[in-house]
Amino acid sequence: MMSVPHLLSLIEPQDIVPAPFAHVVRPEAVLTTVYDQLALTFPSLETLVGNRRAVGANFAVRMARQEVLKEPGIPHLWRAFFEYYTSLDYWQEVVRIFAPEFRHAFPDLEERVGRAYADWRVVPRGVEGPAEVRLDCQFVMNTPVVTPSSVKPPHVDLGDKIFSAMLYFREPTDTSTGGDLDLYRWRLAPRFIKHRVLPRDVERVQTVPYAANTYVAFVNSEVAVHGVSPRSITSVPRRYINFIAELPIKAFTPPQLGKLQRWFFVRTDAALGGEARD
């Protein structure tokens, strides 16, 4: 029986790239035989859409751990995968590699929480119990594209999330362009509309290709601006696994634009890259 791949096992703290913000990229992240089995049994778009009445083009649909473990058609290897990536053992691997970067980004967070990162209690999202961090793992698909567009323009993840990661499962039949992960740096002091940014305020400095079996992980903070590049017209969904570490408190609060700037941002399609959803 195949074992769950431990994506962080071969990564060391010195592998972290500090700019434009702390991140790691690992191509060919999973042993080919294991990756191929996971890719073959990745749920269909219909499974992820479920009972939703209507889903638009280039829209993110998700199935989180809680739903995955209730779904009878999910194979054992995927179930074990979701169990491991919402476990204390996985969190300890995250801490082994990223704790210095967490302390750099959030100097007082351990003091505010009352425990060192290595001592945080871990509970999966959706499960009752005391915890300093709740972990989730999600199947994600971006639906087919009918007009070239970005599913996620430049933004940071919500302030209660300190660590994010993705493992891409691009299909061999996918000949579309775009859908890559763009990393940005600020041209000036950070300023937001909720957790989104004005594209003119940031500069793209790195692109992580949307390529099969590519893993990317980063520390989420107000400098961790990232987005998905516009994807061309295609009938093939964009597939990946999303990894989340969520706190019961805000690790950071993005500084907000003024009311007039916010109004202009919301009213201008170009400023949002055609994407108005939060």
Query: Domain map of the chain by residue range?
Result: 14-272
* Rounded-to-integer distance, Cα 146 and Cα 102, Å: 39
The model's pTM: 0.92
- What is the mean pLDDT of the segment spanning 230-259? 95
162 in Cβ contact with 86 (< 8 Å): no
- Asked if pLDDT for residue 260 goes beyond 70, the answer is no
Q: What single-letter DSSP state applies at residue 154?
A: S
pLDDT tens, residue by residue, 85-135: 999 999 999 999 999 999 999 999 999 999 999 999 999 999 999 999 999
- Total Cβ atoms within 10 A of residue 21: 22
* Rounded-to-integer distance, Cα 166 and Cα 30, Å: 13
Q: Would residue 3 be called left, alpha or beta, if left means φ above 0 and alpha means ψ between -120 and 50 degrees?
A: beta
Residues forming a β-bridge with 243: 137, 165
State the residue for tokens 């996985």: 90
95 in Cβ contact with 151 (< 8 Å): no
- Asked if pLDDT for residue 268 goes beyond 80, the answer is no
CATH topology (fold) of 14-272:
Jelly Rolls (2.60.120)
Helix (H) or strand (E) holding 78: helix 76-84
Q: Is 30 buried (19+), middle (13-18) or exposed (0-12) by CB count in 10 A? A: buried
- What is the mean pLDDT of the segment spanning 199-221? 97
Q: Which of 191, 209, 12 is nearest to 99 (CA)?
A: 12
Task: Tell me the average pLDDT of the chain.
Answer: 92
Tokens read off for 126: 């959706």
State the residue for tokens 């779904």: 71
Using the Cα atoms of residue 192, residue 196, residue 199 and residue 202 in order, give the sign of their dihedral: positive
